[in-house]
Amino acid sequence: MTDQEIICVECKIIFFSNKPFKNYNSFVCDNCKLNLKIGNRIKLIYTNDPYTELKKGDMGIITDINKIQISINWDSGSRLMMIPDLDIIEVV
């Protein structure tokens, strides 16, 4: 099966999926579902990165969002990016 082009109805970013997708006219990406926006203050809930010094509860500011990752300036000085399918953050 070839990749199917799907556009998020909120942010208009184009995604590609090799899975059947019936409701492509109502697709909302994970970033939009979480209401993530540049400038949001966020809190780390979980990261799968075994090498980071970030821990649950650390705070930061979103500086960029794309379909693959979320760039964050953490209060600790870290610049670790979050991957929506692997890491968990919440807007505070």
3-state secondary structure of 35: coil
**pTM for the whole structure:** 0.70
**How many CA atoms within 13 Å lie on the side-chain side of 81?**
12
Domains, the chain: 1-33 (no CATH), 35-91 (2.30.30)
pLDDT digits (tens, 9 = 90+) for 1-52: 567 777 878 777 777 777 666 666 677 777 777 778 899 999 999 998 999 9
Residue 91 in tokens: 């807007």
65 near 34, Cβ under 8 Å? Answer: no
Q: Which residues contact 40 (CB under 8 A, 6 or more apart)?
A: 61, 62, 91
61 near 73, Cβ under 8 Å? Answer: yes
